[in-house]
Structure 1
Amino acid sequence: MPEAQALKSKEYETIYILRSDVDADTADKVQGRVAEVVARDNGKLVKVESWGRRKLAYPVGKQKKGVYIYVKYVGKGGLVQELERNLKLQDSVLKFQTVLTNKDVDVASVAVDPEEVKFQRLELPAEEEEKESREKALGLVDFGDGPRSMRGERSEDDYGDDIPGEEAGAEEPAAATGAKEGGEEEG
């Protein structure tokens, strides 16, 4: 029975978040480190996905956005500790989390699609470009003239000094001055 347990591994998912201002070379360095650690500890990468730049639930180290990377792999328990130790050493990694998805996996029986385990070159638009394109997609920008004015906003020219029905020096209406003059009392 101990021999059968020696062949079994566990399946894990790790999501790590890179700084939003990370350049492609730094992201490649982190991705290379992840692949190296998994291979060195006799693990096997199953799937790798880049989820792109997303807003964080709360600021982490003055960062409000981050680049999310998902990695699914198979290996022994020591692999997780080594991978997390390496992620902690990377300055560009804000956060990471590993989850055990399957306790009893035979590494030899795991089918891996070579396209799913390739780390893709991380090419993100600059945050300013991303914001501008989002505004254009929502129709908030008119042909490069800048952001549209909000509905209901008026310019200073829209507010005139004259109000219809009021003239300079006109008396206030009787309701506003207190129409109870002339000795009428309430009873």
Structure 2
Amino acid sequence: MRKYETVFVLSPEIIEDQVNSTVDKVKSIIEKSNGKIENVDFWGKKKLAYEINKKNEGYFILIDFCSDEDFPKELDRNFRIMDLVIRHIIVKKD
């Protein structure tokens, strides 16, 4: 298993319950694929460096996890179909 981290930005127009449910959904996707979550860090609502989809802010969340090498592609696919996620990145940690 390798270590990864993902940062994703959620739409600023959602309520706190939707933020929590989206984070829970991402955590369950990781755990269902035999991944292990090491840390979840809510950075809160922050101003974006540039406008994305006519939005200037977003909720930032960082998740550190361990998984198989093929799993980041599946997680990326899931992020792309989630309507509330406006930007995401998955990075391998050394």
Q: CA deviation at 1:29?
A: 2.5
Give the TM-score of the pair, scaled to structure 2.
0.93
- Map 1:45-64 to 2 at 5 A: 45-64=37-56
Runs of 4+ in 1 over 3 A off after TM superposition: none
Secondary structure of the corresponding residue to residue 42 of structure 1: coil
Say if 2:32 is the partner of 1:22. no
Q: Give the counterpart letter for 1:53 in structure 2.
A: K
Q: Give the counterpart letter for 1:61 in structure 2.
A: N
Match for residue 74 of structure 1?
Answer: 66
Q: CA deviation at 1:99?
A: 0.8
Q: Which has the higher strand share?
A: 2
Structure 1 vs Structure 2 CA RMSD: 1.0
Q: Pick 1 or 2: higher relative contact order, CA cutoff 8 A, min separation 6.
A: 2
Q: CA deviation at 1:90?
A: 1.1
Would you say how many aligned residue pairs link Structure 1 and Structure 2? Answer: 94
Secondary structure of the corresponding residue to residue 14 of structure 1: strand
Q: Percentage identity across aligned positions?
A: 28
Give the TM-score of the pair, scaled to structure 1.
0.48
Say if 2:27 is the partner of 1:35. yes
Secondary structure of the corresponding residue to residue 22 of structure 1: coil
Q: Which runs of 5+ in 1 are unaligned?
A: 1-8, 103-187
Higher alpha-carbon Rg: 1
Larger displacement relative to structure 2 (22-31 or 35-44): 22-31
